[in-house]
Amino acid sequence: MASSSQTTKWWIIIVSLVTGTLLGVYFQRFPSLEPFFRDILSAGFNVPEVDLGFAEFGFRLFLRCNPGTIAGGIAGIWAAR
C-alpha cells in the first residue's frame, strides 16, 4: 500500500499539470501570447450523437499538451520534492 506522502506527491503533480494546461489554453486566446502557447499535442475522440431511445447525448474527450503543461509539470515536480 502506498504511503500517504507518496499519494500526496502524485496529486500535486497531477493538479499542477492540469492547471498548467488550462492556463496554456487560456493564454492561447490572447493574440500576443498565442504563438508561445500553441498545442504541441492534441489527440482525442468525438462521439457527436448517442441515441438510447429514451435519451440522446454526445461527448468529446481530448488530450491537449502545450508549453503550459510542461511548465506545470516542472512546477509540480519541484513542489512535490
- pLDDT tens column, 20-34: 989 998 999 999 988
DSSP reduced 3-state for 71 = helix
Q: Note the pLDDT of residue 15.
A: 92
| pTM higher than the cut 0.85 | no
Residue 2: band (very low, low, confident or very high) from pLDDT cuts 50, 70, 90 = low
Span 36-54, pLDDT tens digits: 889 888 899 999 998 998 9
Domain ranges of the chain: 4-80
**Helix, strand, coil share of the chain (percent; to 5):** 50, 25, 20
- Interhelix angle 4-27/67-80, nearest 10 degrees: 150
